[in-house]
Amino acid sequence: MAALTEQEIINIVYSLYETDTTNWESTEEEYLAARQFANVAIRRWEFYDNTKWRELYSNLTDSTSSGVVKTLTAGTYEYTAPDEFRSPSSWVRTLDGSNNPTFWKVIGAEKSADYANSTAKVCWFSGNDADGFVLNFNPKVTLTTDHTINYEFYKAASLFSTTTSTTEVPDPYFIVYFILARFLKNDGEGNIEELQEADDRLETMRVANMSGVFGVPDDLEETLVTNRGFGA
């Protein structure tokens, strides 16, 4: 299903709620309330049942967040991660001018002291959701200016902030029915049908997320013989 913008989602809510097509102006209280309800719905999807959503895996190359650092500087061992970063999901790579990669094993920040006197190619992420995250390279290893950094990571879901905003939620009608149920509840009206519709769509997304890709086996072969898991 194609992504719908904030405006398109809230216009659908308006039609179902008001039973006409006039639509709210983006500055009206109802529209702004709908935006807030939509963001609550997105957060509910994001953290639902500890699900790791496929839509929330990304990589450093594609990040457009301000302040993120994607190239090395000799003598610098801390690099700002994307604003949307939550956790790493792969080895970190640094690539030279010919795109030849060097692989860096990601360890837990609490294990960094174990490498105080080591030249092993290890790195770790430190920080938190409130203050942001930083990628740290082992300072015992020499870095080369202008080598490129890349890695995959699990990111925060995109929230609505403008009429043209979109989000990663694969079924936008989950957001529609969540907002509609919230409006009906605030009005003191029954919202069981709308709330059930939202919950059903949320669970359907979870099941689809677990189902794998048609024709592709789930048991992936190990591609890095030295990979024994992050934090090992």
Read off the pLDDT of residues 183-196 as tens digits, 9 standing for 90 and up.
999 999 888 999 99
Boundaries of every domain in the chain = 6-53+159-210, 55-155
Bridge partners (DSSP) of residue 80 are 134
Cα separation, 223 vs 44, whole angstroms = 35
How many whole angstroms separate alpha carbon 7 and alpha carbon 9?
6
138, amino acid identity: N
pLDDT of residue 215: 52
State residue 68's pLDDT score. Answer: 96
Q: Chunked in runs of 10, what are the mean pLDDT values of the chain (232 residues)?
A: 90 96 96 98 98 97 94 98 96 96 97 96 96 97 97 98 98 98 92 96 97 55 38 38
Output the six-digit token pair for 146. 């202008």
- Tell me how far CA of residue 81 lies from CA of 22, 158, 196, in angstroms: 43, 16, 38
Predicted local distance difference test score (pLDDT) of residue 220: 39
The β-bridge partners of 103 are 93
User: Residue 133's beta-bridge partner residues?
Assistant: 127
Look at residue 231 in the predicted model and tell me its pLDDT. 40
DSSP the chain: -PPPPHHHHHHHHHHHHHSSS----TTSHHHHHHHHHHHHHHHHHHTGGG---GGGEEEGGG---TT---B--TT--EEEPPTTEEEE-S-EEEE-TT--EEEEEE--GGGGGGGTT----EEEEEEETTTEEEEEE-TTS---TTPEEE-EEEEPPPPP-STT---S-S-HHHHHHHHHHHHHHHTT---HHHHHHHHHHHHHHHHHHHS--TT--S-PPPS-TT---TT-
- pLDDT score for 211: 87
pTM of the shown model: 0.87
